[in-house]
Amino acid sequence: MYLTPQDFTQKVVHNPRMLHPGGTVGPGKYTRTRHNTPTSPGLLARMKETAKIMIANCRLNDKCKPKHMPDRVIGQPVPGQPGKVYVDCTDEERARRLQNARQCAINNLATKGGIYGVS
């Protein structure tokens, strides 16, 4: 038996606890390419739906200015993100935003089975 390029560039992944449409959890499989990019139509559709939910419920209208950027960008629009502007944030504010984003994700993406850690 000879190895083919696909042996190195893609892999079928089986997952015993995969999310399915409607929020059900069960066995499933998808294909990962050499860049770990999902190609399964079902998984891609689920990722798009998840993005819509997160944007609708968890999106902020501003973004913390990266530390390496000059202060003059404060109040300026964020490239590629219409409607968002840069704001100055402390380290505590950055940490709080991450914690809030995680909590929002838990609240919006949790299923009846509680697989995201909701107790």
Phi-psi region of 113 (alpha: psi -120 to 50; beta: other; left: phi over 0): alpha
Residue 34: pLDDT over 70: no
pLDDT, residue 118, reads 47
Between these two residues, 115 and 95, which has the higher pLDDT value?
A: 95
Between these two residues, 33 and 30, which has the higher pLDDT value?
A: 30
pTM score, two decimals?
0.56
Contacts of 99 (CB under 8 A, 6+ apart): none
- Domains of the chain, by residue range, sit at 1-38, 51-109
Could you report the per-residue pLDDT of 98-117, keeping only the tens digit for each? 888 878 887 887 665 545 54
Could you report the per-residue pLDDT of 59-78, keeping only the tens digit for each? 999 999 988 899 999 999 99
